[in-house]
Amino acid sequence: MNIKIICVGKLKEKYWKQGIAEYSKRLGKFCKFEIVEVPDEKAPEKLSEAQMENVKKTEGERILGKIKDRDYVYALAILGKERTSEEFASEIENLTTYGRSDLAFVIGGSLGLSEDVLKRADSQISFGRFTMPHQLMRLVLTEQIYRAFMINSGSPYHK
Q: Quote the Cα angle for 134-139-141, to 5°.
A: 90
Q: How many C-alpha atoms does 129 have within 13 Å on its Cβ side?
A: 1
Between CA 130 and CA 86 the distance in angstroms is 21
Count of other CB atoms within 10 angstroms of residue 133: 11
The answer on whether 80 is annotated among ligand-binding residues is no
The answer on whether 99 is annotated among ligand-binding residues is no
Bridge partners of residue 73, in order along the sequence: 104
Q: What is the DSSP string of 94-124?
A: HHHHTT--EEEEEE-BTTB--HHHHHH-SEE
Annotated binding-site residues read 76, 108
Q: Residues at the annotated binding site for S-adenosyl-L-methionine?
A: 76, 108
